[in-house]
Amino acid sequence: MGSYLLKRVALMALTVWGALTIMFVLLVAMPGDAVEAKQGEKAVASGIQANIRRKYGLDDPVPVQYAKYWKNLATGELGYSVKDDKSVNDMLAETAKTSLRLAFWGGIVQLFGSLFLGFLSAAKRNSAIDKVSTVLSVTAQAMPVFVTGLLLQVVFGVIPNNAGGFFNQHFNMVGFWPNEWWLGVFPKENWKVVVLPAVAVGMVQMAYLARLLRSSMLEVMRADYLRTARAKGLSMRRVLIKHALRNALIPWVTAASLAVVETFGIAVQTETTFGLFGVGSQIANSALIQDTNPILGLTSVVVLATAVTLLVVDLLYSVLDPRIRVGSKLAE
Amino acid sequence: MPTGDVLLSVRDLRTYFHTDEGVVKAVDGVSFDVHAGEVLGIVGESGSGKSVTAMSVLGLIPVPPGRIETGQIMWKGQDLLTLSDKELRRIRGGEIAMIFQDPMSSLNPVYTIGNQIEEMIRTHQDMSRAAARKKSIDMLGLVGIPNPGDRVDDYPHQFSGGMRQRAMIAMALACEPQLLICDEPTTALDVTVQAQVLEVIENSAKQLGAAILLITHDLGVVAGLTDRVMVMYGGQVVEKAEVEDLYYKARMPYTWGLLKSIPRVDQLGGGRLEPIPGAPPLMSRPPAGCRFSPRCTYAIPACSAAVPELVPVGGAGESHEARCIRVGEAGFSDNAPVFADSGADSGAAQ
Amino acid sequence: MTFQMHENVSLAGDDVAEMARLTYWQDVRKRFFRNKIAVIGLVMLAAMVLVAIVGPFLTPGDYKSARNIPDLPRRLFNEAGIFGTDQLGRNLWHRCIRGIGISLRLAVSVALISTVVGMVFGGLAGYIGGWVDSLISRIIEMIYSIPYVLIGIAAIAIFGSSFYTVMFTLIFTGWVGTARLFRASVLQIRSNDYIEAARATGAATPRILLSHVLPNALPPIIVSIAFAISGAILSESIYSFLGIGFIEPTPALGVMIRDARTQFQPYPHLLWVPASILIWLTLSIVFIGDGLRDALDPKMRGVD
């Protein structure tokens, strides 16, 4: 188990290094820089431009910049933004809260929603809940998140607002996020405004994971050991939960861990649609003006956070499946 | 002749599957009895309906596409087909237990062997976890697992095929059922462990007084273990007899075909195996008349006119029945394969 | 709550599907065309393909530059056409026709190329194994962990916004999914006995791959191509929506949706028209993909 863990951590480090290096190369290869982009706002003399470049280390040779980048990461000081001379650490602190809240609630929608829908639609195949879950999953696969987000805002914001009175009071779920949160993720007042962004973030993966759980449940339900469980005289509920769901969860966990990676892209769209400003929006904004430090710093944090999540899921996986625990080939 | 009381009495069972390609009559009018303590064998090729018969008894036919159309399954005087799901569950595992063909896939890979046996015990008996665990260890010992106290915490993938099948037997017998249904219990195992596993089934079932319904395609397995044999073909019973009578006085051409296809070490010279020509019928479009007639060497036009009845064929005191219109013809049974030495042990090569 | 076992629980010795058999591909075709939703998807897609091919010939003229024609009322069914004119006075219907064409051309090329690339790398990783597998798997993971927003921005900054930039960006991020999938199925198939048998008879590796591995790994790949097409259509719209795909005045559906957002309050139809067309397109392909998946799944044979 110890050497297995070590191997996983080493592989994770390798992946993170590779991803960050590819990213760095992409950024270096981009023509122009933030100073040029800033010029769009007001003309800056070329001497001053050179000064600015020197100040932010943009005129260093590429290997020096690369070394500096890793030094920054190692020390946790992510440098300064050229655009508004702000510390990237501060930018992270400001935007990470929003992103974490979005990820937390989106994750809850995603995981619990898919468990609930996937299990029930397999257990009660062809029932109303199965059909609802099919429609949901097809819609989620066919609609871009930003369109879903806009649609949700129209149905639960614009329409009740226009209807006014009672409807506006009870069904309008669009608004600014509260300032006060318990434990960072539980809104102290007006929790309603969290619902729509969470649904928008979580729905795509929820639908996908629910379908996946459904089909892996249906597959497990054909397994010989399910027949054994039924022949033992267990109730259907126990057969489905203890024997079928437990095994069907194994592929679900893999898929859910991959879904974590995709969530970032979905979060950016959701943030844009709902006017929230999280890490994703910050990266997109900085990227459009090629402000290297925030892009590198913030994306590195995202890549690292993703890798750690994947590692945790990987370990969880070996708890779920005893065949992997002994360190068999299946672990690869 | 069987001596014990009738435990299970199946009458005119018809289990059909409604599929895209039409109605598959997997079991089409099967009747038989199982007496307390006896061993009844059901023999047939795959697709003959023998497993569906067993699954019907336990109420494990998937609905849809399957459906038990008609029939009675009397278990100790009550019709299982009329019981509620809850009452049926009490019987399943508690009074009638079943073990399956492939021990590799019949145990749940994510729970320990002990956990799975304990679950069986605690479902049917009011027992503490500790007591159930102790009983699981005892059962594993009974079926010949070495160091049962340690192996009880192993996962199925840590067991070999033979040991898994033993564990399945231990689980099936854990609640002292009166009937143990074994569906091809040795087919998926190495030849070397097949005999051992059969022995374990026989000995442990005897020790606990359970009757056995043994389903197999292997007449060799049947010979060593059973008291009576029922041969199935195309969803119907085609011959039913005491095991000795079936081997030496078989009356139905299909049974002859099966007998001729057993590899025998005792046969002199030219002991070539003769496979039955052709393939089992498509049960969505069964042949007209006798279902075996298209493959039967002895078929006459009348064979495909109507399904023959299952008729008594033996002498007085014999419970021998066969389904063949030519069974009454003089000299017809001379076509039966002749076994060179008619020693009682000849078929017992397991 | 009561549960029912609706599934085709295998019945040990008696395989019910065996009792009534059809060849695999006959069965697949039959089940696909009996699936109403899949057929609806096929019809929906055919309509779109027809519009994309024939449409441009029927609607010649400039659909890119802003018009100085006297401002027509911005609503559905004005003098210009059924969808009226957009915020720059251009015929929205004409732009949508081109948008459908762009989406389809882009998505089909992306799906096919990334499937081929993914199959080559996934197949090599799965079949050769060893260090080749480790290398390819690491590269897949690395690409997977870079936020695609960043890849899109870098690509557009380096190469400029064009059809091919968007195409290559989508291929760059798209092939890894197929590679993962194909690697897994090759690994699984490779362990089967018949591959061992083919190897034992001395068949060459490429031959084994082509005649044994490929046909068996094909069903999931066919399904994944369908979903790759709908995925690419969605991705294009997302890239364009975030400003890192196509840009004005290209009439891509994502661009139209992005530009309509600022006009949403007075003129919601400017957004809903291209958004609905986009959903129509993706929905039709998802319907087909779902139908294919159900039809190709050998485990669903003989079961409704």
What's the half-sphere exposure (Cβ side, CA atoms, 13 Å) at B168? 36
Neighbouring C-beta atoms of residue A177, cutoff 10 Å: 17
**Distance from C-alpha of A324 to C-alpha of A315, rounded to nearest angstrom:** 10
List Cβ<8 Å contacts ≥24 apart for A15-21.
A15/A307, A15/C138, A15/C141, A15/C142, A15/C145, A16/A303, A16/A304, A16/A307, A16/C145, A18/C138, A18/C139, A18/C141, A18/C142, A19/A303, A19/C141, A19/C142, A19/C143, A19/C145, A19/C146, A20/A73, A20/A296, A20/A299, A20/A300, A20/A303
Chain C residue with minimum CA distance to B286: C19
Nearest by CB to B105, from A223, A242, A326: name it: A223
Higher-confidence position of A205 and A326: A205
Shortest CA gap A88–chain C (Å): 17
Q: Write out residues 196-235 of C within 8 Å (CB-CB) of A.
A: 227, 230, 234
**Residue B347 has what pLDDT?**
41
pLDDT digits (tens, 9 = 90+) for C275-285: 999 999 999 99
The verdict on a CB contact (< 8 Å) between C302 and B21 is yes
Tokens 């994309």 correspond to what residue?
C52
Q: Please name the residue that has the structure tokens 């051409």.
A: B253
Q: Which of B114, B118, B120 is nearest to B89 (CA)?
A: B120
Q: Give residue-wise pLDDT tens across range A9-45.
A: 898 899 899 999 988 888 888 777 777 766 666 666 7
Q: What secondary structure does DSSP assign to A53-102, as a single string?
A: HHHTTTTS-HHHHHHHHHHHHHHT---B-TTT--BHHHHHHHHHHHHHHH
Taking Cα atoms as reference points, which of C48, B238, C242 lies closest to residue A271? C242
Phi, psi of A127 (to 5 degrees): -85, 180
Contact C242 A16 (CB under 8 A): no
d(CA C291, nearest CA chain B) in Å: 17
Instruction: Indicate yes or no: CB of C4 within 8 angstroms of CB of B217.
Output: no
Q: What is the mean pLDDT of residues A66-94?
A: 87
Distance between CA atoms of residues B78 and A290, nearest Å:
81
Q: Which pLDDT score is estimated for C10?
A: 41
What percentage of chain C reaches a pLDDT higher than 90?
28
Contact check, Cβ <8 Å, C9/B52: no
Query: Cα–chain-centroid distance for residue B225?
Result: 12
CA separation, residue B112 to residues A60, B153, B194 (Å): 61, 5, 24
Q: Hunting for tokens 């057969």 — which residue is that?
A: A239
Are the Cβ atoms of B47 and C18 closer than 8 angstroms?
Answer: yes
- Contact assignment for A31 to C158 by CB distance below 8 Å: yes
**Which among A19, A125, A268 is the nearest to C146, CB-wise?**
A19
Cβ-based neighbours of C33, under 8 Å, separated by 6 or more: C39
Task: Write out the two tokens for A14.
Answer: 């390798």
The model's pLDDT over C77-123, given as tens digits with 9 standing for 90+, comes to 666 677 777 777 788 888 899 999 999 999 999 999 999 999 999 98
Q: Match 């993962």 to its residue by tokens.
A: C180
How far from C268 is each of A158, A272, C1, C56, CA to CA, in Å? Answer: 11, 18, 44, 26
CB-based contacts of C117: which residues, under 8 Å, 6+ apart? Answer: C171, C175, C178, C179
Q: Which is more confident, A57 or C40?
A: C40
* Position B103 pLDDT exceeds 70: yes
Positive or negative CA dihedral for A168, A173, A177, A179?
A: positive
Q: What is the mean pLDDT of residues A146-150?
A: 88
Q: pLDDT tens for residues B140-190? A: 999 889 999 999 999 998 998 889 999 999 999 999 999 999 998 888 888
State whether residue C10 sits within 8 Å of chain B by CB: no
Entry field: residues in chain B:
350
- Closest CA of chain B from C10, distance in Å: 9
Q: What is the pTM of this model?
A: 0.81
Could you tell me where the DSSP H helices lie in B161-285? Answer: 161-173, 191-208, 219-225, 243-249, 253-260
Which of A142, A221, A264 has the CB atom closest to C147's CB atom?
A264
Q: Could you tell me the CA-to-CA distances from A298 to A173, B37, B116 in Å, in that order?
A: 30, 75, 49
- How many A/B residue pairs have CB atoms within 8 Å? 69
Contacts of A283 in chain C (CB under 8 A): 147, 149-150
Q: Which amino acid is at A252?
A: W
B342: number of Cβ within 10 Å: 10
Q: Does A250 touch chain C (CB under 8 A)?
A: no
Q: Which of A85, A87, A212, A199 is nearest to A145 (CA)?
A: A199
- Torsion angle in degrees (nearest 10) through CA of B120, B126, B132, B135: -90
Cβ atoms of A315 and A5 within 8 Å: the answer is: yes
Q: Which two tokens stand for residue B65?
A: 């596409």
Look at A268 and C257 and tell me if their CB atoms are within 8 Å.
Answer: no
B18 phi and psi, to 5 degrees?
Answer: -95, 95
- pLDDT band for position B302 (50/70/90)? confident
Q: How many other CB atoms are there within 10 angstroms of residue C240's CB atom?
A: 27
